[in-house]
Structure 1
């Protein structure tokens, strides 16, 4: 096992962040270098400290955890990222693992479970909950083709990515809130999802998100 590992905690809830920091610092060899509240702050701390481990909340104020993982792994593929979340990410297990996360764990897990996972990672292993392990299909899964979204639908999804409310979207594109709701129902049907989180995750994986990234670069 490696004797020393620098870590960063990323969570916008101060009490949870401090509790996570305390749990990690009880592990021999782990030093928490800082706490970030957003994806942007996380990337800044990663650049500054070059940690071995990032404990990353999935739902951040400025972006989703998957986008942060992608950016970290592009710059520093050797950094371990653990998705530490209070929401159900079951539909995104495969995608997150394909992005390169070293573990996925619930915030409801006990201190000992969290610490055991980190110790496994320090030993270049991982630990997965049995339901996750049984549902994994990395070897057989094939990516679905991108759904055909209209220009307006892509614009709406892009605004959702930035945290816009339905009311704000309606004002921006000069339609009623009900029209925005109808747009989203059609988008959900096209993407084969049932929730906003699932839709945004599918959008992040699509060609439209990559094209949006390039246009804003």
Structure 2
């Protein structure tokens, strides 16, 4: 095992960040090299440090945005493990596709998080029963949020990304990102495949 296991903590709660740092660094050979939220600092730290693990605990509403950031982070540091604390399982397929090593509920205790860190260190992972149940018995329709279903309804009508953006009052780039997440969830690779699947399975 290497001399020092380096960790980045990404957390938008300034009161929780010090807690994460304390209990992680209470473990042998563990060092928190960055504890912050801004993505730029995370990117820069990955460039200058040989980071082993990123622990993420952010507001549920920011999950979609940060998952896109993780995609970029993994391209930059493919061997870096990622553990995410979230109760939003609608993104589970996308998380696994990105190569996230572990998923835990947001109310996980330090003991649970430490156990997950040790397991990830060994190249394995732990899937909570609630997550496993969702994997085994999920309905594809249940993995889509109401906002995503709304976007799909416009896709079915043949709206362009520009027109969808105007309808839901966001930028075209935001629509593109949301569609990328939707495609991942549906297991498709194009607009045509998405329309065929949601029409066939009556998901919207």
TM-score, length basis structure 1: 0.64
1:157 is displaced (CA, Å) by 6.5
Aligned residue number for residue 186 of structure 2: none
Please say if 1:153 is aligned against 2:164. yes
Aligned residue number for residue 8 of structure 2: 8
In structure 2, distance between residues paired with 1:113 and 1:67 = 26
In structure 1, distance between residues paired with 2:25 and 2:44 = 21
Aligned residue number for residue 205 of structure 1: 181
1:50 is displaced (CA, Å) by 2.7
Does the 8 A contact of 2:10 with 2:58 survive in 1? no
Q: Kindly report the root-mean-square deviation, in angstroms, between the aligned alpha carbons of the 2 structures.
A: 3.5
Which range moves more in the overlay, 104-113 or 34-43? 34-43
In structure 2, distance between residues paired with 1:200 and 1:19 = 36
Q: Matches of residues 1-217 of structure 1 in structure 2 within 5 Å?
A: 4-59=4-59, 64-85=65-86, 88-136=87-135, 147=152, 148=155, 149-150=159-160, 151-154=162-165, 156=168, 158-159=170-171, 202-205=178-181
TM-score, length basis structure 2: 0.68
| Structure 2 unmatched runs, 5+ | 145-150, 184-204
In structure 1, distance between residues paired with 2:172 and 2:11 = 20
| Structure 1 unmatched runs, 5+ | 163-198, 208-217
1:58 is displaced (CA, Å) by 4.2
In structure 2, distance between residues paired with 1:2 and 1:135 = 36
In structure 2, distance between residues paired with 1:157 and 1:124 = 43
1:64 is displaced (CA, Å) by 2.2
Does the 8 A contact of 1:5 with 1:31 survive in 2? yes
1:35 is displaced (CA, Å) by 1.2
1:2 is displaced (CA, Å) by 5.3
SS in 2 for 1:55: strand
Does the 8 A contact of 1:58 with 1:64 survive in 2? no
In structure 2, distance between residues paired with 1:72 and 1:28 = 26
Cα distance change on mapping 1:131 and 1:200 into 2, 3 Å: farther
In structure 2, distance between residues paired with 1:130 and 1:66 = 23
